[in-house]
Amino acid sequence: MRLWPRHPGLALLALALSVGLWYARALERRMPVAEREVEASLTLVNVPPHLVVTSDVPRTVAVRLRGPLERLQTVDKLGAVVDLTQAREGEASYPVGSRLVNLPLDVGVVGISPPEVALRLEKLVSRQVPVRVVTAGSPAEGFRVAAVSAEPRLVLVQGPEQQVSVLPSVSTDPVVVEGARMGFEVTVGVRSPSPLLRVVEPLAVRVRVGFAKAEEASSKGIS
């Protein structure tokens, strides 16, 4: 019967690892257990593609942690999530998940404040709306802006149903007419009027600007 291991080096290594692991665990058991409150950044995940969140979302939540003091002191940045897989249109409260990222070993979550977040979700819709050309500056002396037009005249906008349904138009970036007297064309971007509204297409339009002599407007007005 063989009493000595076939590979004594490996056996000694395994023994040393076992002793080291036992010693490390023994030290952990001797570490003082503490609790600490930290901020965790809040992220909304799995938002249904046909809905959009229109209410204010807290940037952070307070998380109460418990574990060995030395490991709690290493906690820096945490992230918490609200899963909206089952979200529906309207107002409701959704639980903040206790599965946190970057959580050290043997550190657990005691509680989260607030445990739920109240959110309002609306239907996401699209609609074509007119383009309003915005000018900046004054033409050359004795001239006025006689006509402006945009091509295309309509752009597709996407956003919450309540905002999109009452949106009268979207504006262009300012078209500078300072000192101009001759008509010109320029390509400018289209501005979204709200953070929740998005211009889908086109993102830019071609603007034509025409000028006329100011006295022409005066004489037409007198006649």
The per-residue pLDDT for 11 is 55
% of the chain exceeding 90 in pLDDT: 60
Grade residue 77 by pLDDT with cuts at 50, 70 and 90.
confident
Residue 218 pLDDT > 70, yes or no? Answer: no
Least confident stretch, 102-116, 161-175, 182-196: 102-116
The per-residue pLDDT for 222 is 38
Query: Looking at per-residue confidence, does 74 or 191 come out higher?
Result: 191
**Residue-wise pLDDT tens digits, 111-153:** 889 999 999 999 999 999 999 999 999 999 999 999 999 999 9
C-alpha span between 209 and 185 (Å, rounded): 6
CB 131 within 8 A of CB 170: yes
pTM score above 0.75: no
Contacts 24+ apart (CB under 8 A), 93-97: 93/117, 93/118, 93/119, 94/119, 96/42, 96/61
Spell out the domains of the chain, with CATH numbers in brackets. Answer: 32-114 (2.170.120.30), 125-222 (2.170.120.40)
Grade residue 101 by pLDDT with cuts at 50, 70 and 90.
low
Please provide the average confidence, as pLDDT, over all residues in the chain. Answer: 84
Taking residues 178-202, what's their average pLDDT?
Answer: 94
Three-state secondary structure call for residue 20: helix
**Residue-wise pLDDT tens digits, 16-75:** 666 555 545 545 555 677 788 888 889 999 999 999 999 999 999 998 888 888 777 777
Least confident stretch, 99-108, 158-167, 184-193: 99-108
Three-state secondary structure call for residue 137: coil
Grade residue 94 by pLDDT with cuts at 50, 70 and 90.
very high
- In Å, what is the CA distance from 95 to each residue of 60, 81, 125? 14, 9, 27
Taking residues 71-83, what's their average pLDDT?
Answer: 82
The per-residue pLDDT for 214 is 82
The per-residue pLDDT for 63 is 87
The per-residue pLDDT for 106 is 78
User: Strand (E) positions, the chain?
Assistant: 33-45, 51-53, 60-68, 78-83, 90-95, 108-113, 116-132, 135-136, 143-151, 154-160, 170-171, 175-176, 184-189, 198-201, 204-213
